Amino acid sequence: MFKKLFGWGSDDDKTAVDFSGVITDMHSHLIPGIDDGSKSLEESIELIKELCELGFKNFITTPHIMSDFYKNTPEIILSGLEKVREAVKEACLPVTINAAAEYYLDDGFVQKLENEKLLCIKDNYLLFEISYVNMPENMMDVIFRMQVQGYKPIMAHPERYPFWFSNFDFYKSLRDQGVLLQLNVNSLSGYYGPEAKKTAEKMIDLELVDMIGTDTHAMKHIKALQKCTKEKYFKKLLEFNLLNKHL
């Protein structure tokens, strides 16, 4: 899965690098007012400006779809996307932005999977997340259903689920079953806690990362990303040819 792109300096080198080797951020919350991400169009543009300065040129923003909290539909998301695109154009930002969704694996998702066309990240890549409390009992069955429907499942931020901390055999088994693993870059800065950081670093060591995303919701995530660019494991992560390159 991995292929060396380029090398960096020694592990002691603390010089920050940017995200220009990644180009595409495939996980963010930049459409205003429809989930827990950006609150206004002005905030969306400010976040995109900051991400652009970090090296990103393309965005696939992924609003939450959750049956009990964020009852977004493709129509709501795509309508919001057009407003962001117009604002990006007016601000003369040299970026492109598209939209998919981050689906929460619940009963509502299963119904959508069976009856609707879902919003994907380029063609048939489908981003999903699960509860932070425990793994859904039907998760593997639902993953199988996704694949039967022709989707390629991407699990969002697996390093953040506490019931899997350091369970690298399970991560390997997921990938063996065709599930792509998307790391939140800010896990490397310790933003989500020391255990998520430790797990993320080990996933990189074991080459268990298929995609990376910023999961940007607000300016606090930008500040953490800026800190992250000085991390040794961030540099190590960028040594690999991630699928983001092809989005």
Q: Which of 229, 238, 132 is nearest to 188 (CA)?
A: 229
Nearest to 65 by CA among 6, 11, 106, 15: 106
Tell me the pLDDT tens digit for each residue of 138-161.
Answer: 999 999 999 999 999 999 999 999
| One-letter identity of residue 35 | D
12 — pLDDT class (breaks 50, 70, 90): very low
Residue 225 has pLDDT above 80, yes or no: yes
In 3D space, the residue among 188, 121, 136 whose CA is nearest the CA of residue 157 turns out to be: 188
Q: What pLDDT does 16 receive?
A: 61
Tell me, what's the pLDDT at 13? 45
Residue 60 above 50 pLDDT? yes
The residue among 67 and 31 whose pLDDT is bigger is 31
- As a whole number of Å, the CA-based R_g of the chain is 17
Q: What is the residue-averaged pLDDT of the chain?
A: 90
Q: What is the mean pLDDT of residues 239-243?
A: 62
| CB within 8 Å of 151: residues ≥ 6 apart | 118, 120, 124, 125, 126
Q: Which residue has the higher pLDDT, 217 or 236?
A: 217
Domains of the chain: 24-246 (3.20.20.140)
Among residues of the chain, what percentage have pLDDT more than 70? 90
Higher model confidence: residue 246 or residue 142?
Answer: 142
For the chain, what percent of residues have pLDDT higher than 90?
Answer: 79
d(CA 61, CA 118): 14
Q: Average of pLDDT values for 217-232?
A: 93
Average pLDDT over residues 39-46: 98
Q: What is the pLDDT of residue 229?
A: 87
CA distance 109 to 77: 16
CA atoms within 13 A on the CB side of 120: 17
pTM of the model: 0.90
What is the DSSP secondary-structure string of 194-216? Answer: HHHHHHHHHHHHTT---EEE--B
pLDDT (tens digit, 9 = 90+) per residue, 108-121?
Answer: 999 999 999 999 99
